[in-house]
Structure 1
Amino acid sequence: MNISRRSFLMKGTLALAGTTLFSRQLSAIAKKKEVLGIQLYSIRDDMKTDPLGTLRQLADMGYKNVEHAGYGNRKFYGYAAKDFKRVLGDLGLSMPSGHTVMGKQHWDAGKKDFTDEWKYTVEDAAVMGQRFVISPWLDESMRTNYDDFKNYMDVFNKSGELCKKSGMKFGYHNHDFEFSQELNGKKIFDLILESTDPALVAQQLDIGNMYHAGGIALDIIKKYPGRFELMHVKDEIKAADKGEMGGGYESTVLGKGIIPVKEVIDLGKKSGGTRHFIIEQESYQGLSPLESVKQDLDVMKKWGY
């Protein structure tokens, strides 16, 4: 081999290595790219009366991702999984996550296995292309006795194992009681994070719900760095009545309330492990739900999301 050929091959090898490294860097960046979406509970009445027309309006606003809260009897808003996936796809929408409450009726303690109903829930989520199957509630009967609670956290982890078989992850979404109720001297929220395997159970931090019980999102993210793969992005204002969940507060358009939302989502992105940011608004102060979520999206885009 002459020198010029050796030099040529060495340069080519270095160039290839550099290209490979650059490709890996691009891949890493792509994996970390944020997913911005909307929880369809925000426009629940519109989804009941005209799901297709409502989804079309969301797509026209610029939304690319949705999160369902309308699954039952193996249907999403009246559509079988494969049909709803087609509906979303035709509109340029995806559904990386969804909410379905996993209750104690979904676990057969005698057989030590999930019921068919929960297995179908996971199966249909996989058909939809979801990455997360999220349960947004913990039955009160599962949080009155420490031993019952611990046993049910084992079911959480087992649900994570079930979802993993289909390339997904089980997740939990908080309300307010997790920050006000205690078992064995510890808040329910702390016990959930201590008792679940983060490799199997993702946490979706609702930064508005917790405020009703005195939870502060910035403090929670700092306490549990890297634990919040998903976030419900909300703002809160003082309600004229008892408000949502009886806490005296209700949700509002982002940036109009008392939660430092941008600071929270920036911290989630920086150290919370958050990549999925899901807008949710449940009260509207005279605006229509659709106008509210349009303004929410505009704010998030203004903030660089």
Structure 2
Amino acid sequence: MKQIPIAVQVYSVRQEAEADFAGTMKRLAQMGYDGVELAGLYGKTVEEIGTVLKENGLTAVSAHVPVEEFEKDLEGTLDTYAALGCKWLAIPWLGEDRRFGAERYEETLKLIGEIAEGCKKRGIQLLYHNHDFEFQKTPEGVYHLDQLYLDVPADVLGTELDMCWVTVGGAEPCGYLKKYAGRCPLVHMKDFRRENGEVVLLPLGDGEVEVQAIAQTAIEGGVEWFVIEQDDHVHGEPMADMEKSIQVLKKYLEK
């Protein structure tokens, strides 16, 4: 397969990053990660984060930024992540009152447009990261996620498809990657299995997600970075899980 760089969503090791940001970044770089996707600044300044990343050869690929954070200070928030060199910013989710059919949906679409305009001025692309709740259907039978991408043009909002949540939502992940080929520069690689009816997140290769097929389809669709994420670590230790995941993904990418 084509060699695609791999980032880690720092939320996966949030406690470690809060306790020792520099040490955590060093270990992630040693595992073979090429970059990071931030989820907050972990009590550090932009300069401190930038220095640590540079020292470890890590790229600040992107960041998850809630719409509420943009709403409070659009220009300041954008300037922060632009200073770190982020090429993408992703809205990680929408609260219930902002989703399709809810009272603030139209208002949120307008806000997304304003955020995207600010992003473009700084050479950043705005994305949306899905969970499983977007796979409810409109009265016309359209998934809420698809409706969002119909309501907001591709040149305004790209997608960061999360392969775990697409699968949990009942959709076919490779089919979704093909559907949004060219609109999905970042792909969240995440694995899971169902235990007693609950979704349990796991390192790549330990669950139901077809990592190799997804990686190949994503590459064919123009993915620029893979982002490995594991929100929780029920059966393992965060750093060990993230090391196992990158080893599995690299193994497939080397084929």
Using structure 1 for the length normalisation, give the TM-score: 0.77
User: Could you tell me which amino acid in structure 1 is paired with residue 17 of structure 2?
Assistant: M
Number of equivalenced pairs: 253
Q: Which has the larger radius of gyration?
A: 1
Report what 2:119 is aligned to. 163
Measure the CA separation in 2 of the matches of 1:61 and 1:222. 30
- 2:235 paired with 1:286: yes
Distance 1:184-1:143 versus aligned 2 partners, 3 A rule: farther
Render the CA deviation track for 1:218-273: whole Å, top value 9, x for unaligned.
Answer: 22123333221111001111134x5xxxxx212211112111121012101102x3
1:49 aligns with 2:24: no
Identity %: 29
**Residues in 2 aligned to 1:97 and 1:47: alpha-carbon distance in whole angstroms:** 16
Q: Which runs of 5+ in 1 are unaligned?
A: 1-31, 71-75, 108-114, 243-247
Q: How far apart, CA to CA, are the structure 1 residues paired with 2:139 and 2:120?
A: 29
CA distance in 1, matches of 2:139, 2:241: 38
Alignment pair present for 1:61 and 2:17: no
Kept in 1: contact 2:160–2:188 (CA 8 A): yes
Specify the SS of the correspondent of 1:88. Answer: helix
Q: Distance in 2 between matches of 1:146 and 1:219?
A: 28
2: CA distance, partners of 1:35 / 1:192: 28
The structure 1 segments of at least 4 consecutive aligned residues displaced by more than 4 Å after TM superposition are none
- 2:212 is matched with which residue? 262
Q: 1:286: how far off?
A: 2.9
Structure 2: runs of 5+ lacking an equivalent: none
Whole-angstrom CA distance in 2 between matches of 1:232 and 1:269 = 13
- Alpha-carbon distance in structure 2 between the residues aligned to 1:52 and 1:187: 41
Q: Does 1:85 find its partner at 2:50?
A: yes
Higher relative contact order (CA 8 A, sep 6+): 2
Aligned CA RMSD, in angstroms, stands at: 2.1
| Alignment partner, residue 22 of structure 1 | none
Following the alignment from structure 1 to structure 2, what is the Cα–Cα distance between the partners of residues 283 and 151? 32
Answering whether residue 6 of structure 2 is matched by residue 36 of structure 1, we say: yes
C-alpha separation in 1, matches of 2:123 and 2:194: 41
CA contact (8 A) 1:33 1:275 kept: no
Seen in structure 2, the aligned counterparts of structure 1 residues 38 and 55 have a Cα distance that, compared at 3 Å, is same
Residue 296 and residue 148 in structure 1: after superposition, are their counterparts in 2 closer, same or farther (change >3 A)?
same
What SS class does the counterpart of residue 208 from structure 1 fall into? helix
Tell me how far apart the structure 1 counterparts of residues 134 and 214 of structure 2 sit (CA, whole Å): 19
Secondary structure, aligned partner of 2:212: helix
Where does residue 274 of structure 1 map in the other structure? 223
Alpha-carbon distance, 1:59 to partner? 1.4
Q: TM-score, normalised by structure 2?
A: 0.91
Aligned equivalents of 1:119, 1:182: Cα separation in 2: 34
Structure 2 counterparts to residues 152-301 of structure 1, below 5 A: 152-182=108-138, 185-240=141-196, 248-271=198-221, 273-301=222-250
TM superposition shift of 1:277: 0.5
Deviations 1:105-145 (A, max 9, x none): 744xxxxxxx5x22211100000000011110112111253
Letter in 2 for 1:140: E
The code of the aligned residue for 2:174 comes to L
